[in-house]
Amino acid sequence: MIETVNLTRKFGDLTAVDDLTLKVGEGEVFGFLGPNGAGKTTTVRMLCSLISKTSGEARVGGYDVGVPENALKIRKMVGLVPDNVGLYDSLTAYENLDYYGTLYDMTDSQRREANERFLKMLGLWEKRDTLAGSFSKGMKQKLAIARALIHDPTVLFMDEPTANLDPEASKSVRDFIVSLKGEKKTIFLNTHNLDEAQRICDRIGILNTRLMAIGTPEELERSVRGRRTVFALRKASDAVMASLKRLDVRNLVQDGNRLTIDIDDPEEDNPRVVDAIVAAGGSVVTVSILGGTLEDAYLQFVKEKPA
């Protein structure tokens, strides 16, 4: 549904998005993680045919975003929830949706039906005649999502949809995004929120101007190098500690009789560590591998960016 090949966007000397190559399948929820200024919003704007690319290729729904004649076709098939909700405060919830319906060439009856459907779906039907300016942040965010969905887009781009929302509103928005999976919509989600990405995304890309990593949340967690292994000993004697230091292990942390060590390849290295402990007269009670988290993966990949 979305495909980019070496997609690049420069602003003068500044490269905002560099050589981005990725594919997002139909019905997939794809999370785009990255720090501020990583190029996430620029990527979304290019994919929505809002700004041009400097080089490379990008296709949305089979349409090349580099061809100006495709811009309207692409914008017809996508919905955008920008990082700022951008509602018309002096219009009611219903009027906000209805206006967008007209811009998508929807007839009066289609708009009436869609307005009611989405306002009810997002729990805003009772507030349909209330000015959007008086809504809470969570309600505004829901209305912005309804607006992006009003024309039944195939692809939904969401830029930080739960930023600045309280936990309850965040959950409600997140639950709604999950419910869209059932409608087979392709969702491209820009977020800083690792927990959110892990909960709702099928795959995640970590962007820091360049795409640093891509995979399922589990794949990214597994890819973290230097996974920590905890060795619980009967007694962490001086001899054992000296033996481990000779083994040149990384990041050895002692907490009583618990030793935590960074191990690149647990299957290869853990037996060597156990052998060294036993050879030094120690005895191992348990060995447990602490899995890398998505946060570990994120921080590692983001730090990999060359200065």
Partner 1 sequence: MTSWMPWRVSKKDFKVIMRKKSIIGYTVGLPFVMAVAFTLVVQNDVVSANVSDASLGLSSLAYIFVILAAILPTSTAAYSIVGEKVEKSLEPLLATPTTDGDLLLGKAIAAFVPAILAVWAGAMVFMAATDYLTFRVFGGLYFPSWVPGIMLFLVAPLASALGIQVAVILSARVSDVRGANQLAGLMYLPFMATFFAGVDGIFPFDIASLLAIGGILLLANVALFFLSKATFNREEILTKWK
Nearest CB to partner 1, comparing residues 76 and 171: 76
Residue 266's nearest CA partner among 214, 216, 225, 212 is 225
**Contact pattern from residue 4 through residue 43 relative to partner 1, giving x for each residue in contact according to CB under 8 A and a dash for the rest:** -------x--------------------------------
147 binds partner 1 (CB under 8 A): yes
- Of 95, 116, 202, 262, the one binding partner 1 (CB under 8 A) is 95
50 binds partner 1 (CB under 8 A): yes
Parallel/antiparallel/unpaired status of strands 284-290 and 55-60: unpaired
- Of 30, 100, 231, 298, the one binding partner 1 (CB under 8 A) is 100
If you ran DSSP here, which 8-state letter would residue 303 be given? H
Candidate segments 18-26, 58-66, 99-107, 181-189, binder of partner 1 by CB under 8 A: 99-107
Q: What are phi and psi of 141, to 5 degrees?
A: -65, -40
What is the rounded distance in angstroms from the CA atom of residue 125 to the CA atom of residue 8?
42
Contacts of 162 (CB under 8 A, 6+ apart): 141, 169, 170, 173, 174, 191, 193, 196
Nearest CB to partner 1, comparing residues 155 and 236: 155
Q: At what angle do helices 238-246 and 266-279 cross, to 10 degrees?
A: 140
CA 131: distance to chain centroid? 32
CB of 151 to partner 1, least distance (A): 9
91 binds partner 1 (CB under 8 A): yes
Residue 94's nearest CA partner among 132, 151, 49, 59 is 132
Q: Which amino acid is at 129?
A: D
- Of 82, 138, 161, 282, the one binding partner 1 (CB under 8 A) is 82
67 binds partner 1 (CB under 8 A): no
CB of 91 to partner 1, least distance (A): 7
What is the rounded distance in angstroms from the CA atom of residue 79 to the CA atom of residue 77?
7
Positions in 164-203 near partner 1 (CB under 8 A): none
Nearest CB to partner 1, comparing residues 64 and 269: 64
Burial of 9 (0-12, 13-18, 19+ CB in 10 A): buried
- Of 25, 37, 86, 226, the one binding partner 1 (CB under 8 A) is 86
Contacts of 184 (CB under 8 A, 6+ apart): 26, 27
Candidate segments 18-26, 81-89, 164-172, 253-261, binder of partner 1 by CB under 8 A: 81-89
Candidate segments 98-106, 172-180, 217-225, 285-293, binder of partner 1 by CB under 8 A: 98-106
Q: Which residues are near partner 1 by CB under 8 A?
A: 11, 45, 48, 50-52, 72-73, 75-76, 78-82, 84-91, 95, 99-100, 102-108, 144, 147-148
